[in-house]
Structure 1
Amino acid sequence: MKTIKFLSICALSVLAFSCSSDDDNNGGGNDNKKFDLEIDAQDDFDAQDFKGNINTNIKLSASTEYLLTGPLKVKSGNTLTIEAGTIIKAKSGRTDVFLAVEQGAKIEAKGTAAAPIRFTSDASNPAPGDWGGIVVAGKTPTNKGATAETEVAGLNYGGTDTEDNSGTLSYVIAEYTGAKINGEQEFNGISLYTIGTKTTINNIAVFNGADDGVEFFGGTVNVENILCVNIKDDMFDFTEGYTGKITNAFGVREKDFSDATEDPRGIEGDSNGSNTAATPVSKPTFENVTIINLSADTALKSGAEIRRGSEVTINNLFFGTVGTASFGNRIDTKDDKGDGTVTITGAVQQGNVGEDKIGGTINGTFTTNDNAITIGADNVVSIANGVGADFSKFSWTNYTVKN
């Protein structure tokens, strides 16, 4: 057995220094009226009023704490470099506070295990949805057409370059994301639109997100080591022809988590709900995945809902609950806009994880291991070696939880 110590997520929060209750929707959706400040040189912005169009290469330093106060958009041909250990706080209570990287631009956010980069809320009592999140647009194909426009931030995405290089996100934490603009527009923690194989994404964590944790809209990028904790909607989401590989994904709802959407899932996979034959078809591979619900107050609708023409392969999958916590369905492939296909190997379950809801195809079966999760005398959760994701890969976050 390997021991995974789980403590409260509150221990992770960076101390905030200000709070705002005002709300300015301009710039949050596709009508970006707030991009009226042009950043044309390294010293051409105020670190405590950080927003605008980045029209040059700039670097953020770990020695400075930044306050994101509006839309920050990296324009095509330019690179935003963020030094390891940098803290960027976002002004809370607004839907127009986010970081967007458009097609042809790059973000080079290279944290380290010892000095991760953190995006967080500035609120004294931070909460999910305090600010938008991180949005990156690339140039790989999407099955929504030759090009499309992002749900939030007003970026174009799509193209023909499967090797698109949008930069690096490594050892990055995003907290209290998911600002909701309206019923159709809501930020995720990290939204990746048609990002290609030359983009580097690994060791990322999303805590306390009001919508999805990480969502892939098309793209070919391969991602390693994703941690999602206390996500209101889907932990891991893909759509529009995503074909990359996700290795070592760990999603957990803590015991005291009680704030969810109507249909939250561990994994949600779509291809194209209007035309399931549209290409590219979503065909990602997941390797080493854990989805755990410790909350008796909010069931996951599905451990994985794979639908609308999507086809997913999952190797070494673990679904688990403790006590009266539950999933509604284990795997669901049935949908009135088109069914899905799932192929699983090495799948293990424990607890109340429901039954499969089959409309499409499910290849493979689960085995039951009632000792996969154990609770020690100090309520410390332990998970058997080799079952699902390797939680030790997230030690750099200092995240631990108790049941």
Structure 2
Amino acid sequence: MMKMFKSFLFIAALTVAFVSCSDDDDNGGGEAVATCTDGIQNGTETGVDCGGSCNACPPVKDGSIDSQDDPDLDPTDLKGNVTANITISAAQTWALTGALTVKSGAVLTIEAGTTFEATAGGTNVYIAVEQGAQINATGTAAAPIVMTSAAGNPRPGDWGGLVIAGRAPINVGATAEAEVIGLTYGGTAADDNSGTLTYVRVEYTGARINGESEFNGITLYGVGSATTVNHIAVFNGADDGIEFFGGTVNTSNVLLVNCTDDSFDVAEGYVGSSTNVYIVREEGFLNVTDDPRGIEADSNSSNNDAMPRSNFSIDGLTIINAANVEQADLIKIRRGCSATITNGLLATIGDGTASDVVDLTDGRGPAAGTTSIIANVLNVDVTDIKNEVGATVTLTEANAGGADAAVFGWTNFTFPAIVPNP
């Protein structure tokens, strides 16, 4: 009876081996090369050269990154839904080839010094963080995190950019759907935490989806105040540099260079503060929309009294237009929004011009009368102020003040000299 049982086990083992692998003697050396026919590791692989062992068959990518050794966590082809706590290593450059979406409950950690190179030419290449998810992108001055285009000749709009959705209040409904990729955002958690962005540089973003919608460099949808955003830079992007759709997140040390449309954009009940914001269009950067602005700030264009009203502050602001294109406004605040801007410097250099220095008017509603702007100006008309709401706007002709450029040394950006025009 025991011999019969052993014989049965031996025959069964041979059967499994036969089903699982086959031998191919055409490898030139007479050594059999196993090929998976039942997909021992993944359930689908067939006819794959396994290098002599069925257990070496590569797993199939399924579009979901659910562990640190998941095959979709591929530096040469990074995309998919992040469904677990995952770390992106700085040991290699990561080719971002599609949408990388951090799903609710997951945390995407990005090591200091990591570089992403995004495939150019599509609106389906971006990094997104859903409500309930987090991104912890913690670079350093010596090792910043860089998100850029993989194109040999990179241009604004090559790829989507970075999009984060949170659960902080907005004024266009209890929640809303993001215009670019359909993320849900908004809620009641003013102190919501979507993670950390520090020492992060984003380049060549702003891919256009249609005539009404396109990505920005960094888009913050209903992001809460427990989220950390500081030492960030957006370079050469189509549409806006950074845009806040509601939310309560605060920022500091923000550099926005060569944004095709608006550099710093506020809407939908954003309530937050920023310190040390530097905005510049360089000489020779001619990409422009119909109405590019340094700051464009709205509350709600359909109902200026919708709550919460956008109400933001910036302490330490520089806006420079050195490009030979006219900016519509250096600062445009409208549609019920209130702002407090202190220690500002607003200037044009060389051939750069501005249609308006400060404009608080709009056909869909002016800025709130509580708005206060105190800034020095250079090479612009100090009286160029449109103010019909009794807001406090104090502009002084002086080449002083503004943001501290020295803190952006980690970007290696060469700032233009702010000098009087001859």
Please state which band the TM-score falls in when normalised by the shorter chain. 0.7 to 0.9
Name the counterpart of 1:360. 389
Looking at structure 2, the residues matched to 401 and 276 of structure 1 have their Cα atoms a distance apart, in angstroms, of 37
Paired letter, 1:168? T
Aligned partners of 1:201 and 1:165: how far apart in 2? Answer: 11
Q: Which runs of 5+ in 2 are unaligned?
A: 1-60, 418-422
User: What is the aligned-residue RMSD (CA, Å)?
Assistant: 1.4
Task: Say if 2:357 and 2:380, in contact at 8 Å, map to a contact too.
Answer: no
Structure scoring higher RCO (CA < 8 A, sep ≥ 6) equals 1
**2:64 matches 1:38:** yes
What do the CA deviations read for 1:154-211 (whole angstroms, capped 9, x no partner)?
2100000000000000000000000001011100000001111110000000000101
> Residues of 2 paired with 1:39 and 1:100: CA distance?
14
Deviation of the 1:291 alpha carbon: 0.2
The counterpart of 2:183, out of the listed 152, 155, 158, is 155
* Helix, strand or coil at the partner of 1:364: strand
1:353: Cα distance to partner? 5.3
SS at match of 1:244: strand
Distance 1:326 1:353, change over 3 A: farther
Name 2:218's counterpart in structure 1: 190
Secondary structure in 2 aligned to 1:48? coil
Matches of 2:194 and 2:137, distance apart in 1: 11
Deviation at 1:39, TM superposition (A): 1.2
| Greater fraction of residues in helix | 2
- One-letter identity of the residue aligned with 1:311: S
Partner Cα distance (1:40, 1:184) in 2: 35
Number of aligned positions between the proteins: 353
Q: Per-residue CA shift, 1:15-59, capped at 9, x if unaligned?
A: xxxxxxxxxxxxxxxxxxxx9711111121222111111111100
The residue number in structure 1 matching 2:96 is 68
2:166 maps to which of 122, 138, 142: 138
Query: Percent sequence identity over matched residues?
Result: 53
1:246 counterpart SS class:
strand
Q: Which of 344-353 and 321-330 deviates more?
A: 344-353
The question of whether the paired residues in 2 share the 8 Å contact of 1:328 and 1:353 is answered with no
- CA shift for structure 1 position 345: 5.0
Match of 2:411 among 394, 397, 400: 397
- Aligned residue for 1:312? 339
Matches within 5 A, 1:79-228: 79-228=107-256
Out of 331, 336, 358, the residue aligned to residue 358 of structure 2 is 331
1:347 aligns with 2:375: yes
Partner deviation per Cα, 1:137-164 (whole Å, 9 max, x = no partner): 0001100101101111221000000000
Residue by residue, what CA displacement relative to the aligned partner does 1:301-321 show, whole Å, maximum 9, x if unpaired? 001110011010101111011
The one of 273, 280, 295 aligned to 1:267? 295
Partner of 1:12: none
Give, as a single letter, the amino acid of the residue that structure 2 aligns with 1:165.
Answer: N
Structure 2 counterpart of 1:70, one-letter code: G
Q: Is the 8 A contact 2:228 2:251 kept in 1?
A: yes
Give me the whole-angstrom Cα distance separating, in 1, the residues matched to 2:96 and 2:390: 45
C-alpha displacement of 1:364: 2.9
Q: Distance in 2 between matches of 1:239 and 1:402?
A: 30
- What secondary structure, in the 3-state scheme, does the structure 2 residue paired with 1:360 have? coil
**Residue 320 of structure 1 aligns to which amino acid in structure 2?**
A
Q: Is the 8 A contact 2:206 2:237 kept in 1?
A: yes
Asked if 1:237 is matched to 2:265, the reply is: yes
- Preserved contact between residue 135 and residue 190 of structure 1 (Cα < 8 Å): yes
Tell me which amino acid in the other structure corresponds to 2:285.
F
**Distance between the aligned counterparts of 2:159 and 2:263, measured in 1?**
18
SS at match of 1:396: helix
Q: SS of 2:294's equivalent?
A: strand
Q: TM-score under structure 2 normalisation?
A: 0.82
1:350-398 CA distances to partner (integer Å, 9 max, x unpaired)? 00357112233431311102xx1xxxxxxxxxxx4xx110111111111
TM-score by length of 1: 0.85
Larger Rg: 2
The Cα of 1:402 is off from its aligned counterpart by 4.3
Alignment CA distance shift 1:345-1:93 (3 Å): closer
Could you tell me which residue of structure 2 aligns to residue 4 of structure 1?
Answer: none
In 2, the alpha carbon distance for the partners of 1:136 and 1:231 equals 19
Letter of the 2:357 partner, please give it. R
